[in-house]
Structure 1
Amino acid sequence: MTRSRENWHPVAPPLPAAAGKVLQVTTVEELFDAADTVSPGDTIEIADGHYLLPTVFTIRTDDVCVRSASGDRDAVILDGNHSDHGELFAFTECHRVSVADLTIQNVLHNGFKLNANIGRSVRAIVLHNCVIRNVWQRGLKGVNGPEVEGDSELPMRPGKAGNPSVARQFVDDCVIRYCLFFNDRRKRLDDEPYEQKNPLNFDGNYIAAMDVMSARNWHVHDNVFVGIQGRNGGARGAIFFWQGSEAVRIERNAIVDCDSGMWLGLSWTPEDTRRCVGYTVCDNTITRPGRTGILLSRHVDSHVHRNTVYDPVTDDERPAATDIDDGGVLIPSAAAACRPLRVGIENDGLLIEDNLLISEQDLHVNQDAGRIEVRQNLWFQSASPDPFIDSSKGDLRRTDAGEALTNSARPPHTGAI
């Protein structure tokens, strides 16, 4: 696995100089004091160092930037190893907040947490050039927006614990860019208390890099995800959007050695709830996904194109482990397989085109997939010589041989379904 900054990783442009008043932080106490006293338009600048946080750090003020003073994301580390809280960095009732050029690590539950269900919600959060390391549930967790009482034109979302569906607000205009999400190893049951207390629920597989509900107008681009793995292969998608998210653009991300690349929508949500609307998923690369490269279910007018999924592992080489069905439901399997691109149910206007799949399995389409169009995709069961610059590290830029291979191939499946 590749965890450090590789020469092929996207390079973040530097942020402009800090605007407004600058609150300079050199200790943990100063960091928490700054969160309490910062005003709109101010910047919290953190000196290089390793900061062991005693509890969750929360921003509640609009128009704030939290960043390292040096601009070196590896030089400022916010560490939850001694924290009394399961979350590390939270956003509550704040808009237009940026976090840049720092690392968070060693978190039981959620690294960055958008408390969107509280008060006036959150919106326009930007994560820029951050490292999210060893977070044992979600590197970034974004929950549904607040419930809306009475008649509403807002879409319905699933209710909690089997309760009826309810209308909820969207969580708008967030950007995740140039970040590195990685874990040093596969998750264990003893990594966090929920799995220890409920081992039969997810069997150590309750983990993802990003898990976002009710998103609208989000942009996720130029990030790297490495080693997001459950105890026995059943982690959620490294990038996981659901609960009726809309106008989500996911592009130029690299996903390496994760159990699943992307889960975009699930099939088990109630029929009266919102589907995924207007996604654009393009120019992403996914290397050695354990169970699926991209899972798509319940989409309306989404476009998935120019993505590359490379999985040289044959099904005979895969151990018996947790698998997933077309809706993202975990199932035990004695013969687990990887579907590089998997289409679930109830889609209407889903276009899948110009994707490159190198895997023992081809694109998989559920018999109840709905109205989709599949065209100009390339599938190879294997490719030799390696068509990529360095697939061992996840660098799927094509070599000259790779360009020749793809240019000479005839798309194996084209047409409307």
Structure 2
Amino acid sequence: MDSTSSGSSEGATSGGTATAGPGTDSASTSTATGGGTTGGGETFEPCPPFEPPAGPVVDVSPEMADELPGLVASAAPGTVFAFAPGTYDLSGANLLHVTTPGLVFYGTGDDPEAVVLDAGYGIGEIFLVEAPNTTIANLTAQRAFYHPIHVTGGTDGNTTGTRIYRVRVVDPGQQGIKINASSAGYFSDEGEIACSEIRMTDAGRGFVTDCYTGGIDAHSAWGWTVRDNYIEGFWCDQGLSEHGVHFWVTSRDTVVERNVIVDCARGIGFGLGAMGNGKTRVYPDDPCPGAGYLGHIDGIVRNNVIVGKRPELFASASGMDSGVALEQACGPIVVHNTVVALEPPFVSMEYRFENTSAVIRNNLVTHDIVARDGGQATLSGNVEQAPLSEFVDPASGDVHLVAGAAAVDAGDVLAGEEAVERDIDGDPRDALPDPGADEFVPGP
């Protein structure tokens, strides 16, 4: 659990009322823990190698960096760009602006560190995606002045089907992956970020202005899945960073599962503030009747690990703020997450503001789960104030349960869309589930 694991999204895809989903337009390095088996003996394979789809192939190499914008602009739908190993210097205004559907960008081989697209803080974005069904895989995108990967709605329709898989995003000037609506009023929906690493290093932190940074930052996004990623280092000496994973401005039906988030000032957030950033998204089915402003609607947060361990994080001006934060969030389900802080955070989890109505069950935290500003939640099976002795080696980030931990078998049996059949490692949960992301499995 000190690294990520991956597989298909399990169980319900969101809390709350099911809908037809978004579809109508409007104006790493992989750090998998390895395979396992499910309760039925079925193999649980974390992050399988990326298999490029069939299509016309354009082979590119580092000396072609200056040609890439033109090649991308003129590509036919479905073109596959195969990047040979090496470092691609994109600092000379070499933005890859994706306006053609179905383009694929991937690093050849199986090591995302072997193919490095480096903006050198010379351009705002490396990938600017505003076309459906774009895939970015098996490569590193680093040191963009704003966002190494930016997904936005298009000029005449929503951008759907974005897949970011086995990608390393390193040292963004602002957010690592940005997702938002276009100025034309179209949205970015139904995407996936999986099996990837998003990291801020100490060197990169010096290029961030006013602590405006975070791992994944999504506005008004519907139906995204964020799974099996490793996210680290989003904090500042002065100021409060955004979250490792943050969906807000009336985002909806987000699935956040099996992620490991280490040394981030804020871990996972649905919504932010009483009124967000002043914008909103209107859904035709009115999923939360009578509510005012909503930061997030439905969705599920399960089997995630959030760990704060670096002394520098806790010594910073804002310290560790929260592991999971729900703010004006209608209908989310938060189950089987582990939040461990080696020093006191502000909260382990919080549910905040009067339009928040959540289900929070079977979570394991070292500090408190806190109601704030009129937030409402159904809580059960949670263990708060868990001592660090419950975990194998929290100082190194390993927060598997130890034998004899009080949390073992202390959770509630969950059913329906709250049920979580396997833990973060793919181990089946038994008849007496353990709170948190790890189900203790006795050794031989």
Give the TM bin, normalised by the shorter chain: 0.7 to 0.9
**What does the per-residue CA deviation read over 1:219-278, in whole Å, with 9 as the maximum and x for residues that have no partner?**
000000011112325111111110101111000000001111012102231585444111
Please say if 1:312 is aligned against 2:342: yes
Shift of the alpha carbon at 1:338? 2.4
Number of the residue aligned with 1:156: none
Equivalent residue of 1:33, what SS?
A: helix
Number of the residue aligned with 1:25: 60
The structure-2 alpha-carbon separation of the partners of 1:30 and 1:47, relative to structure 1 and needing over 3 Å to count, comes to: farther
Shift of the alpha carbon at 1:70? 1.7
Please say if 1:48 is aligned against 2:68: no
Contact 1:47 1:68 in 2 (8 A): yes
Equivalent residue of 1:135, what SS?
A: coil
Please say if 1:232 is aligned against 2:238: yes
Please say if 1:266 is aligned against 2:305: no
Shift of the alpha carbon at 1:186? 7.2
TM-score, normalised to structure 2's length? 0.73
Number of the residue aligned with 2:394: 391
Equivalent residue of 1:28, what SS?
A: helix
**What does the per-residue CA deviation read over 1:83-135, in whole Å, with 9 as the maximum and x for residues that have no partner?**
3x22221112x100100000011122111011326442422111000000011
Determine the C-alpha separation between the residues in 1 that align with 2:34 and 2:322.
23
Number of the residue aligned with 2:133: 96
Could you tell me which runs of 5 or more consecutive residues in structure 2 were left unpaired when the two chains were aligned: 4-27, 36-45, 279-290, 310-319, 413-444
Contact 2:162 2:190 in 1 (8 A): yes
Equivalent residue of 1:228, what SS?
A: coil
Determine the C-alpha separation between the residues in 2 that align with 1:81 and 1:37.
25
Determine the C-alpha separation between the residues in 2 that align with 1:140 and 1:258.
15
Determine the C-alpha separation between the residues in 1 that align with 2:398 and 2:156.
43
Determine the C-alpha separation between the residues in 2 that align with 1:7 and 1:221.
12
The structure-2 alpha-carbon separation of the partners of 1:191 and 1:383, relative to structure 1 and needing over 3 Å to count, comes to: closer
Identity of aligned residues (%): 23
Contact 2:132 2:159 in 1 (8 A): yes
Determine the C-alpha separation between the residues in 2 that align with 1:267 and 1:82.
30
Please say if 1:59 is aligned against 2:63: no
Determine the C-alpha separation between the residues in 2 that align with 1:285 and 1:300.
23
Aligned residue pairs total 349
Determine the C-alpha separation between the residues in 2 that align with 1:208 and 1:397.
26
Equivalent residue of 1:35, what SS?
A: helix
Shift of the alpha carbon at 1:376? 1.1
**What does the per-residue CA deviation read over 1:270-322, in whole Å, with 9 as the maximum and x for residues that have no partner?**
585444111111000000171111110111121011000001214xxxxxxxx
Please say if 1:8 is aligned against 2:33: yes
Moved more, 337-346 or 246-255: 337-346
Number of the residue aligned with 1:69: 108
RMSD (Å), alpha carbons:
2.5
Could you tell me which runs of 5 or more consecutive residues in structure 1 were left unpaired when the two chains were aligned: 148-167, 196-203, 315-336, 412-417
Matches within 5 A, 1:71-150: 71-81=110-120, 83=122, 85-92=123-130, 94-116=131-153, 118-146=155-183
The structure-2 alpha-carbon separation of the partners of 1:81 and 1:146, relative to structure 1 and needing over 3 Å to count, comes to: closer
Equivalent residue of 1:405, what SS?
A: coil
Determine the C-alpha separation between the residues in 2 that align with 1:211 and 1:313.
26
**What does the per-residue CA deviation read over 1:340-383, in whole Å, with 9 as the maximum and x for residues that have no partner?**
00111123541111000113xx11101411x4211111012523
Number of the residue aligned with 1:346: 354
Structure of greater relative contact order (alpha carbons < 8 Å, 6+ residues apart): 2
Number of the residue aligned with 2:381: 376
Contact 1:261 1:292 in 2 (8 A): yes
Determine the C-alpha separation between the residues in 2 that align with 1:345 and 1:50.
47
Contact 1:119 1:146 in 2 (8 A): no
Please say if 1:400 is aligned against 2:435: no
Alignment-mate amino acid for residue 167 of structure 2: C
More strand by percentage: 1
Determine the C-alpha separation between the residues in 2 that align with 1:30 and 1:144.
29
Determine the C-alpha separation between the residues in 2 that align with 1:7 and 1:128.
13
Determine the C-alpha separation between the residues in 2 that align with 1:44 and 1:7.
26
Number of the residue aligned with 1:162: none
Matches within 5 A, 1:293-372: 293-314=323-344, 337-359=345-367, 362-369=368-375, 371-372=376-377
TM-score, normalised to structure 1's length? 0.77
Equivalent residue of 2:253, what SS?
A: strand
The structure-2 alpha-carbon separation of the partners of 1:117 and 1:312, relative to structure 1 and needing over 3 Å to count, comes to: same
Number of the residue aligned with 2:299: 279
The structure-2 alpha-carbon separation of the partners of 1:19 and 1:381, relative to structure 1 and needing over 3 Å to count, comes to: same
Determine the C-alpha separation between the residues in 2 that align with 1:46 and 1:128.
15
Moved more, 40-49 or 118-127: 118-127
The structure-2 alpha-carbon separation of the partners of 1:51 and 1:378, relative to structure 1 and needing over 3 Å to count, comes to: same
Equivalent residue of 1:339, what SS?
A: coil
Shift of the alpha carbon at 1:410? 8.3
Contact 1:171 1:216 in 2 (8 A): yes
The structure-2 alpha-carbon separation of the partners of 1:47 and 1:171, relative to structure 1 and needing over 3 Å to count, comes to: same
